[in-house]
Structure 1
Amino acid sequence: MKFHRTLIAFLLCLLLPLTAFADPAFYRVSKGDQQHWLLGSIHAGKPSLYPLPDPVERAWQQSRALVMEVDLTHISQTQWQEMGAITRLVDGKTLKDHVPLDLYQRTLIAASQNGLTEHMIAPLRPWFAAITLTQAALERTDFSSALGVDQHFAKRATESGKPIIGLETLLEQLGYLASVGDNQTLMLESTLDELPQLETGFRDVMKAWQQGDQAALVNLLKAEMAPPKLQAWLEQTLLAERNHNWLKKWPTLPNESFIVVGALHLYGDQGLIALLEQQGWRITPLTAPGPRTATD
């Protein structure tokens, strides 16, 4: 469970203090006699995030199934074992052998500052070392992955017996992340550059999510995901390619599904909203932007 939340936390980086927030983007998606609800998620939070707005709660009560990026309630032991081959080095070498020495030394300093040891970091592939460092830094804030929107509804579905459906498997998601390939050293270097400003650097992203401001989210994505090679990889592979693959499964979803995916998957010309509209689905916003005050 913790491993999956680590991945998602890195993908979106929407893990910032909630000082004031508006209703997040939430939609009814309908076509013919089919109807679903679509919620853009953040993957960590704190108690002040809840309860969610009334339209979200009403739809949840009416829904018949929860659809998430990955269904963590049905991960086989084989998948957990295969995960190691994707995230850890298997050639008898360590991270030190795969990155420049100065970058390795910077990695160890950042690890120590965030409660990790060389023994924990050394066996990891560079891309997963970057994710691990990001999650470790985020865990030193006031946020909890267990209070992320996706985990919130996964817990409620499990308690109520509501079916949970994954749009992809854990190994499929790992494959997307591993596809950073030759750019993984750049990914690690960029992560180390951003760690000291991790919380403040994404404050505007959180505000945009809180207000359901899709234009701001898209602009912030382009601004924050530098260098350009990493930005292109995130936009083309981690967002657009996965969106298209998810849509192939859309006709198989139970009617009146409650769909929770990372907020950035909704927006842009390759976002779920635009792609669904192209396929004839009607998108009806159920919440409206505009700040409302909340206290911790």
Structure 2
Amino acid sequence: MEPSIFMQQFVAPCGYLSKLRVMFTHTLSISLFAFMGIFYSGHAFAAKEDKPPFYKVTWQGQHAFLLGSIHVGKADFYPLANQIEQAFEQSDVLVVEADVAKADTMSLLQQFGSADEVLLTQAQAISAEFCQQAQQLCRGLEQFAPWLQAAQISLVRFGALGYSADEGVDARFVASRQNKPLLELESVAFQFELISSFSDNTQIQMLDEAINASDDEMLALISAWRDGDEAKLAAIMEYQAGESDELISKLLWQRNHSMSTTMLTYMEQHLTQQLFFIVGAGHLVGQQNIPDLLSQKGAVVTACWRQNCQ
């Protein structure tokens, strides 16, 4: 789960709850992976050698591109590989999971960010040791639901490792899109409502993982993404979800079905324009992934690292 499935999938609000999405991770955002022995090695190679999940989608004679993202990053991620950058430059419309700029953060926090005293007490017990070393952070978070606490703690921990949400793939492409229209597959409001519906046990599990995942576990997700190792990404996602059917079903599978349908709808609505989709990489791997679902709906999906997508 944390910080991959959860970390990779969601966008936390601004300030103490700034852009987060992931969990991939689970994504997207949906992750951690010491169990696979995938340890961070510094990745001295250039960004152009990275091979994140990248697909070409053909539907009713129209072409679009689909990039799997992680929602934190470093400046040395960019530019991405030439075929990704060229496909984006040639595209007419950018489509992301959620447009953060459209969100009414304060309203969403009031509606979905709180928790009852019993759950907050459980969260305090889980975070007590961590908060001895992060008192200011914890004071700012203590009245929020555990899932929001987990989101911000994950973001802060990634920040301590040198990774920023501002350098996340989707954020970077949104900022550099120039005059390209921006569409969203979901919305921040939808994501807040979804994750706030998780059971108390699932939210406590998220918080525990956010605090106790090792640095190596956190960095393994980034390593697997940069290597383009989709099998490892899938294994990471499934391992971290553990026995939580709620996480895997709500964060990934249900959303994969709805997002794949919306992608084809957008392609039908923009027949003269090339679309460039960015979703958390966790949505592109494992069971019921978006490329497979698109194929089942009749689209031709090409893995661009295995075949020529130009």
For the aligned pair, the TM-score class normalised by the smaller chain equals 0.7 to 0.9
Q: For residue 53 of structure 1, what is the aligned residue in structure 2?
A: 81
**Structure 1 residue 273 and structure 2 residue 291: aligned?**
yes
Q: For residue 6 of structure 1, what is the aligned residue in structure 2?
A: 20
In the alignment, the residues of structure 2 paired with residue 288 and residue 276 of structure 1 have an alpha-carbon distance, to the nearest angstrom, of 18
8 A Cα contact 1:39 1:260, kept in partner: yes
2:210 to 182, 191, 195: 191
* Distance 1:48-1:32 versus aligned 2 partners, 3 A rule: same
In the alignment, the residues of structure 2 paired with residue 8 and residue 53 of structure 1 have an alpha-carbon distance, to the nearest angstrom, of 22
* Distance 1:256-1:106 versus aligned 2 partners, 3 A rule: same
1:87 to 102, 106, 113: 113
**Structure 1 residue 107 and structure 2 residue 116: aligned?**
no
Gapped runs of 5+ residues in structure 2? 1-12, 33-39
* Distance 1:131-1:86 versus aligned 2 partners, 3 A rule: same
- Displacement of 1:73: 3.0
1:164 to 154, 159, 182: 182
- Displacement of 1:117: 4.0
In the alignment, the residues of structure 2 paired with residue 82 and residue 25 of structure 1 have an alpha-carbon distance, to the nearest angstrom, of 31
- Displacement of 1:234: 2.5
1:262 to 280, 301, 308: 280
With normalisation by structure 2, the TM-score equals: 0.79
Local SS of the residue matching 1:5? coil
1:124 to 135, 144, 157: 144
1:199-220 per-position Cα deviation (integer Å, ceiling 9, x unaligned): 2013433232222222221112
- Displacement of 1:4: 5.7
Higher mean C-alpha displacement, 43-52 vs 207-216? 207-216
8 A Cα contact 1:209 1:217, kept in partner: yes
8 A Cα contact 2:119 2:200, kept in partner: no
Q: Which has the higher helix share?
A: 1
- Displacement of 1:241: 0.7
- Give the aligned residue type for 2:238: K
* Distance 1:73-1:282 versus aligned 2 partners, 3 A rule: same
Aligned-residue Cα RMSD (Å) equals 2.5
2:227 to 198, 202, 211: 211
In the alignment, the residues of structure 2 paired with residue 47 and residue 117 of structure 1 have an alpha-carbon distance, to the nearest angstrom, of 25
- Displacement of 1:190: 3.5
Higher mean C-alpha displacement, 41-50 vs 131-140? 131-140
In the alignment, the residues of structure 2 paired with residue 166 and residue 112 of structure 1 have an alpha-carbon distance, to the nearest angstrom, of 39
With normalisation by structure 1, the TM-score equals: 0.82
* Distance 1:118-1:259 versus aligned 2 partners, 3 A rule: closer
8 A Cα contact 1:26 1:38, kept in partner: yes
Q: For residue 292 of structure 1, what is the aligned residue in structure 2?
A: none
Higher mean C-alpha displacement, 26-35 vs 205-214? 205-214
Q: Bigger relative contact order, structure 1 or 2, given CA contacts below 8 A and separation 6+?
A: 1
In the alignment, the residues of structure 2 paired with residue 43 and residue 118 of structure 1 have an alpha-carbon distance, to the nearest angstrom, of 23
Paired residue total: 272
- Give the aligned residue type for 1:212: G
Q: For residue 294 of structure 1, what is the aligned residue in structure 2?
A: none
1:135-165 per-position Cα deviation (integer Å, ceiling 9, x unaligned): 22222121111111101100012xx111000
Identity across the alignment (%): 26
Matches within 5 A, 1:65-80: 65-75=93-103, 77=104, 80=106
Gapped runs of 5+ residues in structure 1? 290-296
In the alignment, the residues of structure 2 paired with residue 56 and residue 137 of structure 1 have an alpha-carbon distance, to the nearest angstrom, of 29
8 A Cα contact 2:235 2:286, kept in partner: no
Local SS of the residue matching 1:8? coil
1:215-239 per-position Cα deviation (integer Å, ceiling 9, x unaligned): 221112222334x22xx22221101
Q: For residue 252 of structure 1, what is the aligned residue in structure 2?
A: 266
2:119 to 86, 89, 98: 98
8 A Cα contact 2:96 2:185, kept in partner: yes
1:220-266 per-position Cα deviation (integer Å, ceiling 9, x unaligned): 2222334x22xx22221101111111123221243411100000101
- Give the aligned residue type for 1:281: A
Local SS of the residue matching 2:57? strand
**Structure 1 residue 173 and structure 2 residue 201: aligned?**
no
* Distance 1:121-1:72 versus aligned 2 partners, 3 A rule: closer
Local SS of the residue matching 2:288? coil
Local SS of the residue matching 1:56? helix
- Displacement of 1:169: 1.2
Q: For residue 236 of structure 1, what is the aligned residue in structure 2?
A: 249
- Give the aligned residue type for 1:5: K
